[in-house]
Chains A and B, each alone.
Chain A
């Protein structure tokens, strides 16, 4: 049998090698240029951002001692009493935590409801009018770009202290982000059912109900659940500006150096968020039939 490996002539090889090396060299230059740009950006940002590693190193002991200070003293001989002392306000905090979760729930519901209605008008493949589509897209953008705390601050001034301001602020932000995600989900649907329903002379609402909705409803539910988890986290923060939830107590504890209270409240938030994370993840896996497509 003859060998099937073809050997190249030295001249041809020379050409290929030099070509390869030229390409590699060009890529090296591009990478170097990108690195140089990155370095300049880091230098500028470091100057503007007043970065001082020396400051961090000098004060890193503050950071570690902060964590050792917020941890409660729990001894084995007086374990029960120490834990009770650490969580001296457990009923109050649990109530506030429930407040936080319910704020997140209502905000998710309102935001997702609004985004649900608007997203069909904003999707490029279904939108009945292009100027309406443009307006809704800008509205989504506005609602998700302005930070929820800015809305919360304004609503606290308008509606007074309390959960109402927090609910409205978070729901506006949810509306903006979910609106964008929902719109993208609709834009990715299979258009054949839409054509089928449209060919029967249906109205816009029927097209949405029978052609688009069945394709996107599980994606919508999945995004909404994911958002609910994020909103529980934001719900723990809006309290800092007086918009309800556990954030108020956490803010006071941090600012007034009630060290063990900080760790007690943080631990409650972390456990609560983790529980909701696990729960929503289970539901989301069921919805997507066990196969996540993201």
Chain B
């Protein structure tokens, strides 16, 4: 009798446990996010893509972070002060900040992290973002060997002091970038490279890494030791590498994905018809342009030729009829919406009607010596993608109408950019997405000292001069004006043909709340909720 009773009791307990776990499991909120590509790494100091940023921003918390609407708010640092000369920042970390394993997050962790990413042996691709810090560049390029000379030190466990080379008003914004995330000193010292593995990884953000199956999914779970854990509503997030956008769209429609980062322009008609409430299009800080190889192509050294080619491009037709996803025609190099900026400075003929522009373009070409018996011929390059191809075909026909013969050449991305940096092209498609909300990230590409990243090797000492002055200016307003003046010079010289400003295109299920469209397309899961 006793034995039977004991067995019954065990069975009852077992049932109770199962029911309890089931109850807990049911209560768990899960979010499925389609995330454009497989991350190359989840080490914030080695990452380089927006798809890695999406995951890293959920795992780690920098000194500053992004609110749901993309604005900069205090993150690990609850407050900070800036010295009068704009070169010294003192950050006060939050009280009780912890890593996911319970260890406290200290200023020493931040110093360790800065030293780590700048270590030349570490070979971080994006280390240059932190070059604004004193001696950062020198240490990273091995000109300075004393790591303690870098302008970052822990005054005490909760106070971090950072010294800059020159005043940089955008520094606070830069700190949201993953290059400035802290990594756990104690964990790395103990585990070495294995600290990154799922199950080992210690992070200080809203989530921790639970599982990573390459090409399948990345699973992150809520970090109980996050300082704001009480307000994090979603327990588990699955990130899927959705490289094929058409397949991803089908998964979204079938309800397997709650959000999807990017969709193909070709799908827009279908989306407007079937999923109008789930389709989110919003301005995005990026510029799509064609660069002219001024250094190597003789014809392009003539301003009249460059101007004619730029005038003949019907940007409105491209955005409204070819792309149809709300991109805006671009007549400047810096997109509108960039903060602390005196511009954008637009091309002088921005408001001229297209028909008139075409006539003027033809006239300019004739003036420059080109005509039916001596047509202007060159190659237009783009990297493999259906949008790049469609735009190139459209532009080719627009140029044909003014008597210019552009042959198309499509190569895959690695070859395309290799050739661009080497200067092997006539006209090529290029694009730039802002790393942080500041005009300098765009205009820097046109400076002479940008070297190979200034693909067309445009060089105007007056432009360089304005930019140099701006980099030393601590006042945001005057700095913004200086840069706008620089852009005006560039737009008068027309070394590039701006085509459109990017928009971010996302699919967000109506069950998801807290996804706010913003100019960076950054959406941290801690601000979101799901109602199934």
Specify whether A and B are partners: no
